[in-house]
């Protein structure tokens, strides 16, 4: 008959001869006992290994690190959002203050019609001086200035500049204009064309920058 000792074992036939001894039969069945013992040993080894703690792999470490990083980043993002909200509120308050100052400045300028007129006259006088210097006609420029810094339109312009200047930048431009206009009057009196041109450009630039800072540049004609 055919017997199977193991699933992968090959069948072989055992003769049905009565002369086959019991010892021989026991010897033939001995591999079954060994196989079963071996299977029990393997099962025991598997069961013992199942109680051991899991092995920490490189992939597991990567996942753990990534999770920690994402959580910490989420926390930083919340903190950054709070800071941004504070910055936005501070920026909004600054915009409100600037708008308030701008409206106050516009109110002062609208109520200072006399000073605005002084400055408009200054624009016309500087235009005449500039044309005279461009044509190298310094006597003509000198006639516009009259008695120099004591000329009425120069003094009135200086009064308007000081009254309508509020910020340090504006006051700085007024100082630059005053020093430049003194240099211009002196150069014209000395009939120095080159120095007159340099002083005129400095005076005109300082005044134009001042009008930009104060907002008067849109109200004065000829700039």
Same domain, 183 and 86: no
- Predicted pLDDT of residue 156: 95
199 occurs within a structural domain = yes
Both tokens of residue 74? 């989420």
Task: Answer yes or no: are the C-beta atoms of 219 and 192 closer than 8 Å.
Answer: no
Q: Looking at mean pLDDT, say which of 11-25, 126-140, 142-156 comes out highest.
A: 126-140
Looking at 104, 134, 165, the residue that finishes a domain is 104
Same domain, 120 and 100: no
pLDDT tens digits for 31-75?
444 444 454 454 454 445 444 455 556 555 555 555 555 555 555
51 occurs within a structural domain = no
Work out the average pLDDT over 66-90: 61
Work out the average pLDDT over 97-112: 70
Work out the average pLDDT over 92-96: 80
Both tokens of residue 177? 């204009």
Domain extent at residue 178 = 112-218
Phi-psi region of 222 (alpha: psi -120 to 50; beta: other; left: phi over 0): left
- Predicted pLDDT of residue 149: 80
Looking at 47, 75, 104, the residue that finishes a domain is 104
Task: Answer yes or no: are the C-beta atoms of 196 and 131 closer than 8 Å.
Answer: no
**pTM exceeds cut of 0.85:** no
Question: β-pairing, 2-3 with 12-13?
Answer: antiparallel
Distance between CA atoms of 202 and 130, rounded to whole angstroms?
A: 12
What is the number of structural domains in the chain?
2
Looking at 104, 139, 158, the residue that finishes a domain is 104
């Amino acid at each position: 008959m055919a017997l199977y000792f193991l699933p992968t074992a090959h069948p072989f036939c055992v003769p049905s001869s009565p002369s086959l001894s019991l010892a021989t039969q026991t010897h033939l069945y001995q591999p079954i006992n060994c196989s079963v013992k071996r299977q029990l040993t393997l099962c025991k080894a598997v069961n013992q290994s199942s109680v051991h703690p899991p092995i920490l792999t490189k992939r597991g470490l990567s996942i753990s690190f990534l999770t920690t990083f994402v959580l910490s980043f989420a926390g930083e993002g919340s903190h950054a959002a709070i800071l941004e909200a504070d910055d936005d509120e501070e920026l909004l308050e600054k915009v409100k203050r600037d708008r308030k100052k701008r409206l106050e400045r516009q109110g002062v300028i609208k109520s200072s019609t006399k000073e605005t007129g002084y400055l408009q006259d200054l624009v016309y006088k500087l235009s005449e001086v500039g044309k005279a210097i461009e044509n190298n006609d310094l006597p003509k420029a000198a006639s516009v200035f009259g008695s120099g810094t004591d000329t009425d339109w120069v003094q009135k312009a200086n009064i308007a500049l000081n009254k309508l200047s509020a910020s340090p930048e504006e006051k700085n431009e007024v100082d630059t204009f005053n020093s430049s206009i003194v240099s211009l009057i002196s150069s014209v009196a000395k009939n120095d064309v080159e120095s007159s041109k340099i002083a005129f450009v400095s005076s005109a630039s300082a005044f134009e920058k001042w009008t930009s800072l104060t907002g008067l540049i849109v109200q004065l004609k000829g700039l």
